[in-house]
Amino acid sequence: MPPGKNSDARLIELFLDMIAAEQGAGKNTLDAYRGDLTDLSDFLGHARSSFVAADTEVLRGYLAELDERGYKSTSVARKLSAFRHLFRFLLTERIRADDPAAILSGPKRGRGLPKVLSIADVDRLLQHAKDLIAAPHANTQQRLRAARLYCLLEVLYATGLRVSELVSLPLSAARRDARMIVVRGKGNKERLVPLNESSKQAMAGYLAALDELRQEKAKNASASKWLFPSFGESGHLTRQHFARELKDLAGAAGLSPRLVSPHVLRHAFASHLLHNGADLRIVQTLLGHTDISTTQIYTHVVEERLKSLVRDLHPLADKP
């Protein structure tokens, strides 16, 4: 066997190629796996072991070290999941004859409820973002940034898109007659998501501001294929940039920036739909969840709604 054929670095790349091809894993997923598996490889190297040679005890030692390094249980569980997948792959490919991770158990953790903004909180965010567009003394560039942020918020709250799906929307998503947009989500799977009137109006306002800036800066500038273009490598706004702008907006609107993120607004979308009587399967489809169990984390909202219905409407319920 040629030297280096089964080196940790090569096995990581083989594994990533497999999950990209067979599971449609995206760049963010691949980067997360690469980081977690490289961290394990570094530990094994110091222990004079490798993916091919590691036994269960050395893997237990790695989990213990993660605990000593102060990793949260959720992070330890994620890393354990990553190398469990790797060792199953090595077993399937007959690179190993056993699976040393099969009997390992992760840290016990309760599944926390997602942070959720109230409807009033979301309204406050949207109103503050809208007010920034009409701020006095704002120049064209500042109005465009405000219109973009307002558009991002309206579309996110109207659709529940993942932030990576949102920032990479094509320009065609803003067609005037569009009632639905096609979203390419995890695993390269497509789904249809409806737009409401508020989000369509926000898109129109944002595109008008974008055209105004183009006319001022370069009349012959070609339009980008992205709805939210940027000069970065991807060609569109990054997740991190939007998250920073959202936290700044939250602080300006009197909300705690720590409690506000694009993902929290996605949670708000799902929770508010369920609170108002939407079917869990419909919400699953809109969110792009493959498994209903992922959507069931929001059932606490349904449970609270059912309790309030019984309390308020049941004929034998205690009345004040």
**pLDDT tens profile 10-26:** 999 999 999 988 888 88
Residue 181 forms part of a structural domain: yes
Same domain, 181 and 306: yes
Is 206 an annotated catalytic residue? no
Q: How far is CA 122 from each of CA 64, 215, 252, 273, 280, rounded to the nearest angstrom? A: 42, 33, 13, 13, 22
What is the CB neighbour count within 10 angstroms for residue 50?
15
- Count how many domains the chain has: 2
Distance CA 133, CA 25 (A): 38
Residue 254 forms part of a structural domain: yes
Q: How far is CA 48 from each of CA 14, 43, 82, 144, 182, rounded to the nearest angstrom? A: 22, 9, 21, 56, 50
Catalytic residue among 236, 266, 267, 272: 266
- Where helices occur in the chain by DSSP H, the ranges are 8-23, 27-46, 56-68, 73-92, 119-133, 140-159, 163-167, 197-217, 239-252, 262-275, 280-287, 292-295, 299-313
Same domain, 232 and 127: yes
Residue 180: phi and psi, rounded to 5, are -135, 155
222-255 pLDDT, tens per residue?
Answer: 578 899 998 878 889 999 999 999 999 999 999 9
Q: Which of 76, 93, 110 is the last residue in one of the domains? A: 93
Is 186 an annotated catalytic residue? yes
> Can you give the pTM of this predicted structure?
0.65
Q: What was the pLDDT predicted at 146? A: 95
Same domain, 301 and 162: yes
Is 84 an annotated catalytic residue? no
Catalytic residue among 145, 239, 263, 305: 263
Q: Which two tokens stand for residue 220?
A: 């012959």
Is 305 an annotated catalytic residue? no
Catalytic residue among 186, 214, 239, 275: 186
Angle subtended at Cα 136 by Cα 134 and Cα 138, rounded to the nearest 5 degrees: 80
117-154 pLDDT, tens per residue?
Answer: 889 999 999 999 999 998 888 888 899 999 999 999 99
Q: Which of 78, 93, 108 is the last residue in one of the domains? A: 93
Is 281 an annotated catalytic residue? no
Q: How many CA atoms lie within 13 A of 158 on its CB side?
A: 22
Residue 3 forms part of a structural domain: no
